[in-house]
Amino acid sequence: MDKKSVAGSGAIWEKLITRRTFLKGTAVAGAAAAVEGLLNFDFLWHLTPAARAGSNNNDNKYQVFLNVCPRNCYDTCSILSYVQDGVLKKVTGNPEQTFTRGHLCAKGYTYTRRVYSPDRIKYPMRQTGGRGSGKWQRINWDEAMDVIARKILELKKRYGSTLPICLDKYSGNFEIMHYGIEGMMSSIGYTTRALGTPCWPAGIDAQTFDMGTLYSSDPEAMVNARYLILWGVNPAWTSIHSMHFVYEARKRGAKLVVIDPVISQTASKADLYVQINPSTDGALALGMARYILDHNLYDRDYLQNHVIGWEQFAAYLRDRVTTGWASYKTGVPQEVIETLAREYATAKPALIWIGYGMQRHTNGGQNVRAIDALAAITGNIGKTGGGANYGQLETWGFNYHAMGFKAPAGSKGVSKPDGTVSDRFIDINNFGHDVLAAKDPPVKMLWIACRNPLSQDPEAGVVEKAFRSMELVVTVDQFMNRSAQLSDIVLPATTQFEDWGVNASYWHYWVGINQQAIKPLFEAKSDVQIAMALSRRLNQLAPGSCTYPVDGDMQDWLGKEFNAKTYQMLGIQDWRELLKGPRKARLPAASWSDGKFRTPSGKYELYSQEAQKFGHNPLPVYLDEEKAPEKYPYRLLTPHWKLGLHSQFQNLDWMMSTNPEPWLEIHPDLAAAKGIRDGDMVKVFNDLGWLIIKARVTATVPPGIMAAYEAWYRDVDYNVNYTVKATPADMGTKATGNPGIAFHDNFIDITRA
Ligand SMILES: Nc1nc2c(c(=O)[nH]1)N[C@H]1C(S)=C(S)[C@@H](COP(=O)(O)OP(=O)(O)OC[C@H]3O[C@@H](n4cnc5c(=O)[nH]c(N)nc54)[C@H](O)[C@@H]3O)O[C@H]1N2
Ligand SMILES: Nc1nc2c(c(=O)[nH]1)N[C@H]1C(S)=C(S)[C@@H](COP(=O)(O)OP(=O)(O)OC[C@H]3O[C@@H](n4cnc5c(=O)[nH]c(N)nc54)[C@H](O)[C@@H]3O)O[C@H]1N2
Ligand SMILES: [Mo]
């Protein structure tokens, strides 16, 4: 066994051989061969080290552009891009934007390496030897659009609708005009869509039942907290800019508590670290609530004026919850629970940041409701420096013009009981299975954009099967990742430096324009331009078959995304004012400060009939956590990694040079019991699949729990999702159409490889 990690689905060892050959031997090398020599890359390649050395004293030799990091990340940083002779030389954070404060994260500083990476997909390419063969042939855009358009029209003719065509798009680029990808699909007819999100839906529903929507306070206002609980969130890795505000709060006297089963980098900064059994956060919150109730530490006025359901909730607590029970469930000593409850309820304002990691469980939604309840009963909601922060979409009120195109007249889709027609929706969190299961008509073609399902979806082996069963798979991306390798046609996407756009964050309150700073590299196009090119060809072949515009000026289109409300929120009259710099939305520092909630009652709903309608207990009650089956007694957590963002960044040379291979964190006691030493290769497996990975023996994880971080490494066949089952979380359906996914309820066994 060589020293690199490998992964597979199904316990078939031969598959390993095929997979490795496919990955190392042909696909990557094949792609490289297809594109190398077509353009002398040395020119750009040699310039970027200079960008690295570029000094701030010489800024006047550059043209400076405003950009925004469009990744799915809390921070959505404001970037200043330095361009010389049409080449992006360096990037820095924009000091004007008070959340980014002039800094990027480690990933952001690699953007020059990403834009000019020799691994970028440079031209449309067609895989001629079959999916995964690695035999790629460069084709031109016209040919690519012709093949795709003909396939769409042929499928439409064969099945009488465009439902056999399925879109899977998620979060590779959250820039607003990227919703044009959905628009392109709508404009050809009714199609099959991956609906939902793998990210945060359980928590969204929880906050929606409690408060009417997710609307957290300005994270910059965290500095005002006197007590700050970071609950199942690891901002030292996943929201590095938030740490400034966390530290500032602490400097001003706040106590910092971190609750996580893993001693994360964030946990290492805490005044109090609480190691909790995974998925038992609801029990901890309810135990704290019981203590608060018994010791009269709740806020009577707030409950009376702004909350419904307190009596029922208090009765539930008295009836079913004790701090002793909470201790038994969570593994947290009873005294710690009581101290935490007392301190939290008496330090005002107290703020809880509820992370996305903690809700990726079968009871994640209920756990978030229980934590929200703490903020409500102590009257911390609506207070600057208080609250239960999870995320916000207040600043996302754009027109979504790029998305708003309708199916051609007479298109056939799914008929609904109310007489309307719609797309066919499948679950994004059980994508492979649902694609394979779709009937009448079956799914025959996939369009993948801003998405890497082969790496990010559970049951990656099933997703692979779904890919292999298609007649045509088109992937639009910047890199030849696993999904691209299993496609028939790949199309090169631009980076944010090569495009116009506008970005908001789901965390902070800033909105910024993304200026085109450099010309598109090679033959890359933006997703919207690809939609236009496809429409052009479709309409040539079959006039009227696609309603998407066939051309358009991207700055005009950008203007069409704004409306009176966004202008008012940003304090501008025209979007071009954003070319002077990003703007912060004019919202109160504390959400819900007017006490008007968006629930049916207009109050905070401890008792939610809406929750009941969706099949949940109307109260935030404890739902038992998922326990390890006998056969697979250990839990494998797969949270997010510092130097990558899902399947992005870790493939770049600077990242690979710092961290060339993934690892598994395992506690010394378990390692000893299994005869595993630090640095050994281990096999992690369950009925679904397996991976072979290097062990790091560390007491930062508890004995029965391991951690391996989700990521895509370029030359390493590593995929945590070969062992992750598509188990739904309890909530998510109300706000996002499908439940979230319990990525962290993943049980495995381990041996030395
Ligand atoms: N085991 C496990 N799995 C997880 C998670 C976990 O915690 N554990 N987390 C889940 C979460 S929270 C999320 S949000 C998902 C993320 O899942 P995805 O949204 O699929 O993740 P990314 O890898 O960020 O992006 C997908 C692709 O978009 C491409 N891309 C970037 N910019 C563009 C563009 O402008 N156009 C096009 N067409 N493509 C572009 C990138 O190169 C990348 O290949 O993963 C989920 N998967
Ligand atoms: N560097 C980097 N930044 C990112 C991302 C990335 O991939 N890399 N991804 C972005 C995206 S899409 C997202 S969704 C966010 C996610 O960022 P976070 O909200 O920080 O979520 P995670 O990193 O998935 O998990 C956070 C912590 O939750 C813990 N956890 C798991 N289960 C439980 C539990 O049952 N209880 C408790 N208390 N804790 C638990 C994990 O051990 C982990 O330390 O980050 C965004 N920012
Ligand atoms: Mo996410």
pLDDT of residue 58: 57
Structural domain includes residue 581: no
Q: Where are the beta strands (DSSP E) in 600-674?
A: 604-605, 634-637, 663-666
Q: Is there a single domain that holds both residue 41 and residue 61?
A: yes
DSSP string, 503-529: EE-SSSSEEEEE---SPPSTT-B-HHH
Q: Is 491 near ligand 1, meaning CB less than 6 Å away?
A: no
Phi and psi torsions of 350, nearest 5°? -120, 135
Phi and psi torsions of 92, nearest 5°? -135, 170
Q: Is 451 near ligand 1, meaning CB less than 6 Å away?
A: yes
- Which domain-ending residue is among 613, 642, 672? 613
Nearest CA to ligand 2 atom 7: 645
Q: Give the model confidence (pLDDT) of 221-235 as tens digits.
A: 999 999 999 999 999
**With contact defined as beta carbons under 8 Å apart, do 421 and 413 qualify?**
yes
Question: What is the average pLDDT across 323-334?
Answer: 98
Structural domain includes residue 625: no
> 141: which residues sit within 8 A by CB, 6+ positions away?
124, 523, 525, 533
Q: Where are the beta strands (DSSP E) in 646-734?
A: 663-666, 681-685, 689-697, 705-707
Dihedral of CA atoms 303, 305, 309, 313 in degrees, nearest 10, equals 0
Q: Is there a single domain that holds both residue 275 and residue 355?
A: yes
* Centre of ligand 2 from the C-alpha of residue 456, in Å: 14
Q: Is there a single domain that holds both residue 74 and residue 97?
A: yes
Structural domain includes residue 599: yes
- Which domain-ending residue is among 62, 85, 115? 115
Q: Is there a single domain that holds both residue 478 and residue 548?
A: yes
- Is pLDDT above 60 for 45? no
Q: Is there a single domain that holds both residue 606 and residue 644?
A: no
Q: Is there a single domain that holds both residue 609 and residue 639?
A: no
pLDDT of residue 512: 98
The minimum-distance atom of ligand 2 relative to the CA of 200 is: 14
Nearest CA to ligand 1 atom 6: 639
Provide the residue range defining the domain that includes 102: 3-115
Nearest CA to ligand 2 atom 16: 356
Q: Is there a single domain that holds both residue 544 and residue 440?
A: yes
What DSSP character marks residue 450?
S
Total structural domains in the chain?
4
Which residues is 92 bridged to in the sheet?
A: 80
Structural domain includes residue 316: yes
Question: What is the average pLDDT across 359-383?
Answer: 98
Question: What is the average pLDDT across 113-142?
Answer: 98
Question: How many other CB atoms are found less than 10 A from the CB of residue 626?
Answer: 18
- Which domain-ending residue is among 115, 148, 174? 115
Structural domain includes residue 580: no
Element (H, E) at 658: helix 653-658
- Is pLDDT above 90 for 424? yes
CATH classification of the domain holding 299: 3.40.228.10
Rg of the chain over all Cα atoms, to the nearest angstrom: 26
Structural domain includes residue 584: no
Q: Is there a single domain that holds both residue 420 and residue 541?
A: yes
Nearest CA to ligand 1 atom 23: 647
Give the residues surrounding ligand 2 with Cβ less than 6 Å away: 72-74, 199-200, 231-234, 237-239, 259-262, 264, 276, 278-279, 281, 355-358, 361, 637, 639-642, 644-646, 744
Q: How far apart are CA 589 and CA 224, in angstroms?
A: 10
The minimum-distance atom of ligand 1 relative to the CA of 181 is: 38
- Whole-structure pTM over 0.85, yes or no? yes
Q: How far apart are CA 488 and CA 282, in angstroms?
A: 46
Q: Give the model confidence (pLDDT) of 183-197 as tens digits.
A: 999 999 999 999 999
pLDDT of residue 4: 59
Q: How far apart are CA 87 and CA 106, in angstroms?
A: 21
Q: Is there a single domain that holds both residue 607 and residue 535?
A: no
Q: Is there a single domain that holds both residue 362 and residue 452?
A: no
pLDDT of residue 59: 59
Q: Is there a single domain that holds both residue 99 and residue 152?
A: no
State the distance between the two ends of the chain, measured CA to CA, in whole angstroms.
Answer: 8
Nearest bound ligand to CA 743?
1
pLDDT of residue 60: 80
Q: Is there a single domain that holds both residue 158 and residue 139?
A: yes
Q: How far apart are CA 100 and CA 585, in angstroms?
A: 15
pLDDT of residue 523: 98
Q: Give the model confidence (pLDDT) of 443-461 as tens digits.
A: 999 999 999 999 999 999 9
Residue from 238, 474, 478, 727 to probe ligand 1 pocket by mutation (most atoms less than 8 Å from CB): 478
Structural domain includes residue 629: no
Q: Give the model confidence (pLDDT) of 522-576 as tens digits.
A: 999 999 999 999 999 999 999 999 999 999 999 999 999 999 999 999 999 999 9
CATH classification of the domain holding 717: 2.40.40.20
Q: How far apart are CA 354 and CA 306, in angstroms?
A: 21
Residue 709's Cβ-count burial label (10 Å; 0-12, 13-18, 19+) is buried
CATH classification of the domain holding 59: 2.20.25.90
Residue from 171, 456, 459 to probe ligand 1 pocket by mutation (most atoms less than 8 Å from CB): 456
DSSP string, 584-643: E----SSTTTT---SSTTSSEESS-HHHHHTTS-SS--PPPPP---SSS-EEEE--B-TT
Of 404, 392, 499, nearest in space to 450 by CA: 499
CATH classification of the domain holding 406: 3.40.50.740
pLDDT of residue 468: 98
Question: How many other CB atoms are found less than 10 A from the CB of residue 575?
Answer: 19
What rounded mean pLDDT belongs to the chain?
93
- Is pLDDT above 60 for 415? yes
Kind of pairing between the strands at 424-427 and 421-422: unpaired
**With contact defined as beta carbons under 8 Å apart, do 741 and 727 qualify?**
yes
- Is pLDDT above 60 for 48? no
Structural domain includes residue 276: yes
* Centre of ligand 3 from the C-alpha of residue 73, in Å: 7
Q: How far apart are CA 275 and CA 277, in angstroms?
A: 7
Region for residue 70 given its phi and psi (left: phi exceeds 0; alpha: psi -120 to 50; beta: otherwise): alpha
Element (H, E) at 314: helix 310-320
